[in-house]
Amino acid sequence: MKTLSLLLAACAVLSAFTAGFAQEAQGAAELKAYLSKMESGQKLQSSEIESLINTARTDTKNSLAHFVLGQYYESVNFGTLSAEQYEQAFDLDPKNSKAIVALARMKFRMGDEEASRKILIKAINLFPNDRDVLVTCGLFMQRHGDLKTAQACYQKALALAPPTAELMGAQAELLYQQSHYVDALKAAQLALKLNPNNILAKSVRGKCLFLAQEYKRAVPLLKDAYTAMPVNDDIAATYSNAALKAHDYEQALEPTLIAMAYAVKTPSKLIYYKRKVAGLITGLPPAIVEQQIQAAEKKTKGSQGGKFLYFCLGDVFDRLHRPADAIACFKKGLTIDSTYGRGYLRLGMDLEDYAGDHETALKCYENAFVLLPEDPEVKLRIARMKARYPQIKRDVAWQLKTNAKRSRSLKPTLQLG
């Protein structure tokens, strides 16, 4: 009797183990199905998204679940959340080369190139013969002008296995950078033959068509590349210019906004894109402008360029003599990055010069002074305001000027949220 009880207990344990294993296998199959669906360009259903999120939350040690959730967040442009999931996936499974590659690429897309560089150094040390790691390292070196090292990465990747669409797309991009446009186009066409959805190949083909002045043919290809990599300033700029040349001004505004935000370190480019944005905003209906600004904000959220989008827009609206919209932009920009001193300065200037709100303007100048104590313009503004503001009640001329400004209807044309 005792032997029978032990046998039944052993069978129960084995049954539970088998059921658990089967459930785990089913869960992994479901996650792989979600991943395959997204890779083919399909969208997950709301029930599938809910299931994926619940799996990642409840099964906290499931590396695959975190990786797939990271892919989902990436597909809807939630860069910060995506990076967090990739990082968790790799921490849980240090052999998961796909997770560390995805993390490096996401950091790069978000504009955090230093973090991306450190992750790639770690990746190449851990996986020196991984093709995805080599291609990603090559793309990073390309971006920083080290074309020789990039070529070495691609050659090593090519020696490890037959060419893939991604590798040929990267090779096409390298050839394009080297001004070998015919060879770049051939490589891009080969990549598209291997995978019609390869983003780098679409980008290169689109840029080659742009050079050939085939603007209408270039726009759809560049749009696909831009949708996949919206914070790549090179793609955004080319897509913007192609749409402008094709006279599709509504389609041109969003990538022009992003190109402008990423041009802050290059004054000549910044001036160019500010003029383009100003022209597009003037010519398009306010509802379309609002929609495109919100779309650009969503795409740049969490990236370096996203911090400057509204500050640049504020400058544009000031040049268009629309101070109410400029004030709204500077305020919005400061909610995104409250450490940008010139944002406080420009907001204070508009509040003083157009709204007549000297009290709030003084506070803005004081905030700007904390962040930019050596800026001569900030010093001058704050010194003048501090000297004059206490005398405002006795300064009749200033009171008349202030009341006249406040009597104006400074209502922004756009609703920026």
Q: What is the pLDDT of residues 382-394, one digit of tens each?
A: 888 887 766 665 6
Question: CB-based contacts of 231: which residues, under 8 Å, 6+ apart?
Answer: 109, 110, 111, 258, 262, 299, 300, 303, 305
101-137 pLDDT, tens digit each = 999 988 887 778 889 999 999 999 999 999 999 999 9
| Amino acid identity for residue 310 in this structure | Y
Q: What's the DSSP call for residue 307?
A: G
In the chain, the percentage of residues whose pLDDT exceeds 70 is: 88
223-276 pLDDT, tens digit each = 999 988 777 778 899 999 999 999 999 999 999 999 999 898 889 999 999 999
Q: Is 9 exposed, middle or buried (0-12, 13-18, 19+ CB in 10 A)?
A: exposed
Compute the distance between CA of residue 384 and CA of residue 105 in angstroms, rounded to an integer. Answer: 49
Mean pLDDT, the chain, integer: 85
pLDDT range class, residue 303, cuts 50, 70, 90: confident
146-199 pLDDT, tens digit each = 889 999 999 999 888 888 898 999 999 999 999 999 999 999 999 999 999 899
* Tokens found for residue 214: 């085939």
* Tokens found for residue 195: 């995978």
Nearest to 174 by CA among 205, 142, 152, 201: 142
DSSP notation for 158-202: HHHSS--HHHHHHHHHHHHHTT-HHHHHHHHHHHHHH-TT-HHHH
Neighbours of 55 (CB within 10 A): 20
**Mean pLDDT score, 77-84:** 86
* Tokens found for residue 406: 């406040």
pLDDT for position 322: 94
Sequence spans of domains, the chain: 308-417
Distances (CA, A) of 354 to 157, 217, 278, 362, 384: 60, 46, 20, 14, 17
Assess whether pLDDT exceeds 80 at residue 50.
Answer: yes
pLDDT for position 171: 92
Assess whether pLDDT exceeds 90 at residue 277.
Answer: yes
Where is 216: in which H helix or E strand?
helix 215-228
Higher pLDDT, 35 or 395: 35
User: What is the signed CA dihedral for 319, 321, 326, 328, rounded to 10 degrees?
Assistant: -160
Assess whether pLDDT exceeds 60 at residue 23.
Answer: no
**Mean pLDDT score, 399-417:** 66
Provide the greatest CA pair distance for the chain: 107
Assess whether pLDDT exceeds 80 at residue 415.
Answer: yes
Long-range interactions of 126-129: CB distance < 8 A, separation 24+: 126/94, 126/97, 126/100, 127/97, 127/100, 129/160
pTM: 0.73
Higher pLDDT, 161 or 292: 292
In the chain, the percentage of residues whose pLDDT exceeds 90 is: 53
Q: What's the DSSP call for residue 144?
A: T
pLDDT for position 397: 64
pLDDT for position 220: 95
Distances (CA, A) of 392 to 34, 216, 361, 377: 66, 59, 14, 22
pLDDT for position 375: 93
**Mean pLDDT score, 132-144:** 89
308-417 to CATH, choices 1.10.10.60, 3.40.50.2300, 2.40.50.70, 1.25.40.10 = 1.25.40.10
- Are 142 and 174 in contact by the 8 Å Cβ rule? The answer is yes
